Amino acid sequence: MKRVLTILFLSISTLSLVGQNIGAMEVLDENVKPWLPKLELEYAGFYKFGESESESDLKLFFVDTVIIGQLKQGYWEEATEVWKWRFKNLTNIKIDKKGNFVSDQHTGQFVTYTDSTGTYKGLKINNPWTEWLEDGRYEIGIRLGVPYGLYQGDYPQVSTRHLSAEELSTLDKETLRIMRNEVYARYGFRFKKGGEMDQYFSAKNWYLPQHDDVLRFLTKVELENIELIKEIELKK
Say how far apart CA 174 and CA 53 lie, in whole Å: 39
Q: Give residue 219's pLDDT.
A: 96
Query: What is the per-residue pLDDT for 149?
Result: 63
pLDDT of residue 176: 98
Q: Quote the pLDDT of residue 157.
A: 94
Q: Does domain 157-235 have CATH number 1.20.58.1690?
A: yes
What was the pLDDT predicted at 4? 36
Would you tell me how many other CB atoms lie within 10 Å of the CB of residue 190?
A: 14
Residue 59 CA to residue 145 CA, distance in Å, equals 10
Alpha-carbon gap, residue 92 to 66, rounded angstroms? 8
Q: What is the pLDDT of residue 7?
A: 31
Per-residue pLDDT at 47: 94
Task: Answer for the pair 92, 103: CB distance below 8 angstroms, yes or no.
Answer: yes
Radius of gyration of the chain from its Cα atoms, rounded to whole angstroms? 20
Residue boundaries of the structural domains of the chain: 6-145, 157-235
**Alpha helix segments (H runs only) across the chain:** 6-12, 157-160, 165-169, 173-186, 196-202, 220-235
* Dihedral sign computed on CA atoms, order 132, 135, 137, 141: positive
Phi, psi of 102, rounded to the nearest 5 degrees: -135, 135
Within 10 angstroms of residue 234's Cβ, the number of other Cβ atoms is 9
**Residue among 148, 207, 147 at smallest CA distance from 182:** 207
Cα distances (angstroms) measured from residue 35 to each of 39, 108, 115, 172, 197: 11, 12, 15, 46, 44
For the chain, 236 residues long, give each residue's pLDDT as a single digit of tens.
333 333 333 333 333 233 355 655 677 889 999 999 999 999 999 999 988 778 899 999 999 999 999 999 999 998 888 999 999 999 999 999 999 999 999 999 999 999 888 999 999 999 988 777 666 778 999 998 765 567 889 999 999 999 999 999 999 999 999 999 999 999 999 999 999 999 999 999 999 999 999 999 999 999 999 999 999 999 98
